[in-house]
Amino acid sequence: MSRYRGPRVRIIRRLGALPGPTTKTPQLKSSSINQSTSNKKISQYRIRLEEKQKLRFHYGITERQLLNYVRIARKAKGSTGEVLLQLPEMRLDNIIFRLGMAPTIPGARQLVNHRHILVNNRLVDIPSYRCKPQDFITIKDRPKSQTIISKNIDFYQKYKIPNHLTYNSLNKKGLVNQILDRESIDLKINELLVVEYYSRQA
C-alpha cells in the first residue's frame, strides 16, 4: 500500500487533530459527529484500526513501513508500544519537522528529497533515515537551501522544541540529544491498540 497523497484535511476530520500532516485546522461539525457515533456501536476492531491509521497518517508512512516498525518494536527491549512510537519519531523527516525547519512532515520530507539537509556534515536524501543521539542536522551551504529553511524557522518555530532536541539558531544547527520518552511525543494516540491491531492480524 502506497503513501496517502489525497486531501489531508479529510483525514483530520475523520481521525481528529494530527499536527504532522497539515497546518490547517478543519471545522468539525460536532452535532453530526455525536449523532453518528451515538447511533452506531463502534467495534473494537474499528477502534484499533483508527489508532493505527492515526499513527500512519501523522508520520506519513506506508502500511509496509509501519508493519516493519511493529516487527522491530516487538524484538526490542522495553515497552513495545513506546518503541513503536520512538521509531517514526527518530526519522529524519520528523526530526526536521520537530525542530521547526519545516511546517509539516510532508514539507520536511520534501526538504530531504530535494537534498537540502545534512546529517553529521553528510548529505542525506532519505526521509526515513533513522537519527541517533548526538547526530546533528544542518542545512546545505547554498543560498536556496538557507533561504527556504530560514523562512520556515521564522514562521514555524513558535512551537516548543521537545527536550530530546536542541536548535542553535546562530549556527542553524539541530542536535539530537537523546531518544525521546513517551511524554515528549505530542500525539494523542493509544499505541497499545496499534500493537493489538497487528497482533490480531498475524
pLDDT tens over the chain, length 202 residues: 455 555 555 555 555 556 545 555 555 544 444 444 444 678 889 889 988 988 888 888 999 999 999 999 999 998 999 999 999 999 999 999 999 888 888 889 999 999 999 999 999 999 999 999 999 999 998 888 888 888 877 776 656 788 899 998 888 899 999 998 888 887 788 899 999 999 876 5
Tell me the CA end-to-end span of the chain in Å, nearest whole number: 17
Helix (H, G, I), strand (E, B) or coil at 173: strand
Q: What is the pLDDT of residue 158?
A: 58
* Rounded Cα gap, residues 113 and 180, in angstroms: 25
| pLDDT at res. 27 | 56
Residue type, 172: K
Residues 6+ apart with CB under 8 A from 162: 98, 180, 184, 186
Nearest to 110 by CA among 119, 98, 121, 101: 101
Best CA proximity match to 111, nearest among 146, 163, 61: 146
**Where exactly does CATH 3.10.290.10 map onto the chain?**
91-179
Note the residue count of the chain. Answer: 202
- What pLDDT is attached to residue 31? 41
How much is the pLDDT for 58? Answer: 85
Dist CA 118 CA 28 (whole Å): 39
**CATH match of 8-87+187-201 with 3.40.640.10:** no
C-alpha cell at 202: 498475524
The CATH number for 91-179, chosen from 3.30.1490.190, 3.30.470.20, 3.10.290.10, 3.40.225.10, is: 3.10.290.10
